[in-house]
């Protein structure tokens, strides 16, 4: 479903250049639950931005269902993001002036759902995430973990075909992290939801079917879960 070929992303075209991605080739299949791991600054968020068509590579190609994303105009890229993508940003990217419910409302409204459908979907998903009593709170009136859960709810409200989540548990305690990861696992197993998730936590590994380890802008290692459940390096 997504194929990245020889992707590079160089930031700062002046004197100081940062090679955030330095030749990454990767394939994400429908129904995958992939973890992207690696040290800070290794290019994980940059790669996730590429998958979400939030950024363009300096060189290399991204194919989405066989279509070269580089040939799509901004309108087509926006349509892809609206219709097919759920994205949890590392810094949440909630709109500070809008309540939890209104933040979740945005993508469903943009998709043309009726006000009644939006209200119902938003209340349902916020309650599912234990935020039933926070729906009228502004982001500034919520804890980091609560804001993070609003951001996850917003990413899932449209039932995206592709969920990209950048450290979605970074501000959650282990109990709430487990709730989110168990939910992701259920979505993946029962509805074949494709998920690509960035994580720093060793214990998250048991949820992933495949782990891409990044270092200095390249894939250092890729491991797959075998039938028996163990993680083994890809050839």
Ligand X SMILES: Nc1ncnc2c1ncn2[C@@H]1O[C@H](COP(=O)(O)OP(=O)(O)OP(=O)(O)O)[C@@H](O)[C@H]1O
* HEC letters along 121-175: HHHHHHHHCCCCCCCCCCHHHCCHHHHHHHHHHHHHCCCCCEEEEECCCCCCCHH
Among residues 147 and 199, whose Cβ is nearest to ligand X?
A: 199
Which chain residues interact with Mg ion by CB under 5 A? 44-45, 90
Angle at 155 between CA 175 and CA 183, to 5 degrees: 35
Residue 11 touches which of ligand X, Mg ion, none (Cβ within 5-8 Å per kind): ligand X
Question: Out of Mg ion, ligand X, none, which partner does residue 46 contact, by CB within 5 to 8 A per kind?
Answer: ligand X
- Describe the strand order of the beta sheet including 231-233 as a list of residue ranges: 85-88, 162-166, 194-198, 33-37, 210-215, 218-225, 231-233
Residue 41 interacts with, from Mg ion, ligand X, none (CB under 5-8 Å by kind):
ligand X
Position 20 contacts ligand X (CB under 6 A): yes
Q: Which does 42 bind (CB under 5 to 8 A by kind): ligand X, Mg ion, none?
A: ligand X
- Smallest distance, Mg ion to C-beta of residue 90, A: 5
For residues 37-56, which are near ligand X according to CB under 6 A? Answer: 38, 40-46
Terminal CA-CA length for the chain:
21
Number of residues this chain uses to bind ligand X (CB under 6 A): 13
Could you list the residues that contact ligand X (CB under 6 A)? 11-12, 18, 20, 38, 40-46, 90
């Amino acid at each position: 479903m997504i194929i990245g070929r020889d992707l590079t992303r160089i930031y700062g075209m002046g004197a100081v250049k940062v090679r955030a991605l330095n030749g990454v080739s990767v394939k994400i299949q429908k129904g995958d639950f992939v973890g992207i791991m690696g040290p800070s600054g290794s290019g994980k968020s940059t790669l996730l931005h590429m998958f979400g068509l939030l950024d363009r590579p300096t060189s290399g190609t991204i194919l989405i269902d066989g279509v070269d994303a580089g040939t799509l105009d901004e309108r087509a890229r926006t349509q892809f993001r609206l219709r097919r993508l759920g994205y949890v940003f590392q810094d949440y990217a909630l709109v500070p002036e809008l309540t939890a419910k209104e933040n979740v409302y945005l993508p469903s409204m943009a998709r043309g759902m009726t006000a009644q459908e939006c209200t119902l979907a938003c209340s349902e998903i916020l309650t599912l995430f234990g935020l039933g009593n926070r729906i009228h709170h502004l982001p500034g009136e919520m804890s980091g973990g609560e804001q993070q859960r609003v951001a996850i709810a917003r990413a899932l409200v449209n039932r995206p075909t592709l969920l990209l989540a950048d450290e979605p548990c970074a501000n959650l305690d282990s109990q709430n992290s487990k709730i989110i990861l168990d939910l992701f696992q259920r979505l993946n197993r029962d509805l074949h939801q494709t998920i690509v998730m960035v994580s720093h936590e060793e214990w998250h590994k048991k949820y992933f079917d495949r782990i891409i380890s990044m270092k200095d802008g390249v894939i250092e290692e890729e491991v797959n879960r075998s039938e028996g459940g163990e993680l083994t390096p890809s050839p």
